[in-house]
Amino acid sequence: MKNYKKVDASRISISELMLPSHSNFSGKIHGGYILNLMDQIAFACASKHSKAYCVTASVDTVDFLNPIEVGELVTMKASVNFVGNTSMVVGIRVIAENIQTGVIKHCNSSYFTMVAKDESGKSTPVPGLILNDKNEVKRFLKALKRMETKKQRQFEFDHQDFSHIDYLPLLQDHKVRIDLPDNF
């Protein structure tokens, strides 16, 4: 019989005060630093769910919505939104709080696909997921939709009949100049 776990069983939240050493040249917190923290919480969440070592397989859509300032308290919340046979999609929400004013802003949301590994480094099965509320069902379904879209896009660009010439008209409305040899 397959093992199942509730989403809440592996939900994780971390908070960290943003220091000047985390900032970029414009004085905002460096995006790479935030990505590093996101990867850490994705690992922790996936490992907690699977009870196995996990590796990052892919990161889907990282949009930096609002800059994070030095001195703000960043909180990341992660949960397993979807499980496959050996993989999990971990949803991460990043918020920043100005601890002097109490103003909170949503800075980022992203989805990390993590794969569970056994001691020999081979992919290993993960427990199923018990969905307890509408949001958890919605997140699971959205993960399915993102995977379907990704497969469709991959097929389109990998398909043998794909020709860049078919897509050249799309470039007319963009700030690009095409200067190709005649035999192109």
Helix (H) or strand (E) holding 134: helix 134-158
Q: Of residues 157 and 98, which shows the higher confidence score?
A: 98
Write down the pLDDT at residue 184: 58
Q: What Å distances lie between residue 14 and 30, 75, 173, 177, CA to CA?
A: 18, 6, 43, 46
Does residue 72 register a pLDDT over 90? Answer: yes
**Domains in the chain and their CATH numbers?**
4-162 (3.10.129.10)
Q: Which three-class secondary structure state does DSSP give residue 153?
A: helix
Does residue 157 register a pLDDT over 60? Answer: yes
Does residue 145 register a pLDDT over 70? Answer: yes
Does residue 180 register a pLDDT over 90? Answer: no
Write down the pLDDT at residue 61: 84
| Confidence at 1, pLDDT banded by 50, 70, 90 | very low
Q: What's this model's pTM, rounded to 2 decimal places?
A: 0.87
Helix (H) or strand (E) holding 14: strand 12-17
pLDDT in tens, 103-122: 999 999 999 999 999 999 99
Q: How far apart are CA 13 and CA 76, in angstroms?
A: 6
Contacts of residue 100, defined as CB under 8 A and 6 or more positions apart, other chains included, come to 71
Single-letter amino acid, residue 79: S
